[in-house]
A and B are shown apart, each in its own frame.
Chain A
């Protein structure tokens, strides 16, 4: 089991973590109607995502890398259903669409607070236990464990800034 150590904490940049934590809370409260409890972020060494359903968003521009939102399957089904306003199971075509859109909103919402001008890709969704998603080898993966009343998910952030932060990227509300 991975634990947050002093060394890990030193490599976990709050300027990256906080925008994602805020975005997760905002997306799930606004669009899904559930409150999210965020646990202590930690660094991850394994390539496999934390859970069985993963939505991947790529970053390009001033920031490169990827963000994966990885869900327990049952949690994913219940959160997708609450988001869509109809019952959705993992074998339905609407399932990856709903899970992908949640990840899109989380990544997009965080992006505006990273102080840079980056683009994000449309989401890709992978379903299956033990799947492996390649990440940039020189970028640490920070995991933000999240808990909802219907199950757990994790946001796995593996991005690096390749241009300095710009001022006045605060954006509109």
Chain B
């Protein structure tokens, strides 16, 4: 599975990689902000199976990144992984086009469950 991790914290990206490696056969790309993520997304010929996106980042935040991705790409699974937990934020993210939402702090089990549930639902709906 090809996953793009977008978070300005390399510590958080490493934690996410370590947890998601439990799913097996993972390939990761990483971006530290939305601008970097867009460059990777739209310059990589092979599609990503999942993009995990932080909200608060320099240069371009996660909400703007989701909007920019969805202007061109309606199908790549996007999960917001953030400390932003107010209902208004969650609704904003869903309106922008995320498929699911993980609130930091999270346990490994929470992240795995949210990723597998999201991918299963999208697969079943396809």
Binding site for B on A (CB under 8 A): 26-27, 30-31, 80, 83-86, 94, 97-98, 100-101, 104-105, 107-109, 111-112, 117, 119-122, 168-173
Contact = CB atoms under 8 A, between A and B. Distances in A.
Nearest to B14: A84
B104 interface: yes
Contacts, number: 84
Given A104-B104, A108-B104, A170-B86, 9 more contacts: A30-B105, A31-B104, A31-B105, A83-B11, A97-B10, A105-B104, A171-B90, A172-B87, A172-B90
Nearest to A109: B83
B56 A101 contact: no
Interface of B: 8-12, 14-15, 18, 56-58, 82-90, 101, 103-107
Contact of B9 (A27, A104, A171): A104
A122 B105 contact: no
B114 to A, nearest CB: 11
For the complex, would chain A's binding face be called helix, strand, loop or mixed by DSSP majority? Answer: helix
B83 A171 contact: no
A27 B105 contact: yes
Q: Which of B82, B84, B85 is most buried by chain A, counting CB atoms within 10 A of its CB?
A: B85
A60 to B, nearest CB: 12
B56 A122 contact: yes
B11 A111 contact: no
Nearest to A94: B11
Given A109-B85, A171-B86, A120 B14 contact: no
A105 B113 CA distance: 20
B56 A120 contact: yes
B83 to A, nearest CB: 2
11 contacts: A31-B106, A104-B56, A104-B83, A108-B84, A111-B86, A112-B85, A117-B88, A122-B57, A122-B58, A170-B87, A173-B85
